[in-house]
Structure 1
Amino acid sequence: MKNSSPFALSAVALLALAACNNKPEVVDSRSPDPMASQLANAAPSEPPPSIETSVSFRCQPGNTLLFVDFFKGGKMAALREKKDSMKSILLNAPEAGQAYVAEGGYKLEGNAKSAKITLADGTAHTCKA
């Protein structure tokens, strides 16, 4: 019986592996995304602005407290009537420096130091931080 040399065995193994140069077939049970091309060609989206200042206002009449988060860019503010309330009213301004408004009659005029805030019930509050 004749012994095969290690060189010959490795050459046969390399030849067998060379035949496996094909890429494996990818099988996916999901259907293709119908919006894939639209999403690939869509313009990049802009993230929402971050909070610039959170203010607790003391307001008259009634010595009430109102809480406002002012967002960067000066075009958006979030109003809460209670400090720990999860419900906030999002107010928007057409341009920075103009009054913030929201549906229901909400209006905020001013800045993080002093503001005039009108609530949905029509009451106007003069507020200071």
Structure 2
Amino acid sequence: MKYYLPLITVAALSLLSACNQNDEPEVVGGPADPMAQQLANAAPVELPPSVKESHQYRCKDNSLIFVDFMSDDKTANLRLKRDSAPTKLVAANPGEPFTAEGYSVEGAGKQITVTVPGKDALSCKA
């Protein structure tokens, strides 16, 4: 029994030493990617901005509006009702008014001025 243990150990080590020592992954079979060249040359993907601040404002006419300011400082989403679809407003440069199709939001933070179609500019506070 004493002689079998070293022989079994030597046999196990010799089997393990026969394993592939190559660090490169091997691709076995499978079709080539037909879009590999296009994907390699594609422009990097830019993610949309995330919400930086979200405020509920009470305006001078006692109405409520909801504004989400985005992390790129050039985009804001305006909602005239809590559950309504947002209107995307865009500023040409950070710090300038956010505008789109008759809508305008000037400022950020606690005090803003809002213009919506059919109404005069309203001063609103968070």
Distance 1:100 1:84 in 2: 21
Match of 1:69 in 2: 68
Cα pair distance change 1:125/1:44, threshold 3 Å:
same
Instruction: Give the CA deviation at 1:74.
Output: 1.2
Match of 1:89 in 2: 87
Instruction: Give the CA deviation at 1:65.
Output: 0.2
Instruction: Give the CA deviation at 1:117.
Output: 0.4
Match of 2:3 in 1: none
- Alignment deviations for residues 8-50 of structure 1 (CA, whole Å, 9 cap, x no partner): xxxxxxxxxxxxxxx97547xxxx75x5533321121111111
Distance 1:81 1:49 in 2: 21
Q: TM-score, normalised by structure 2?
A: 0.70
Q: TM-score, normalised by structure 1?
A: 0.68
Instruction: Give the CA deviation at 1:124.
Output: 1.6
Gaps of 5+ in 2: 1-26
Match of 1:108 in 2: 105
Distance 1:73 1:26 in 2: 42
SS in 1 for 2:49: coil
Instruction: Give the CA deviation at 1:92.
Output: 0.4
Partner AA of 2:125 in structure 1? K
The alignment's C-alpha RMSD in Å is: 2.1
Distance 1:79 1:124 in 2: 15
- Alignment deviations for residues 81-110 of structure 1 (CA, whole Å, 9 cap, x no partner): 00122x10000001110000012x101101
Partner AA of 1:47 in structure 2? L
Match of 1:58 in 2: 58
Distance 1:120 1:38 in 2: 45
Gaps of 5+ in 1: 1-22
Distance 1:81 1:101 in 2: 15
Partner AA of 1:120 in structure 2? P
Match of 1:12 in 2: none
Match of 1:119 in 2: 116
SS in 2 for 1:38: helix
Cα pair distance change 1:24/1:47, threshold 3 Å:
closer
Runs (4 or more) in structure 1 with deviation over 6 Å come to: none
Identity score, percent: 44
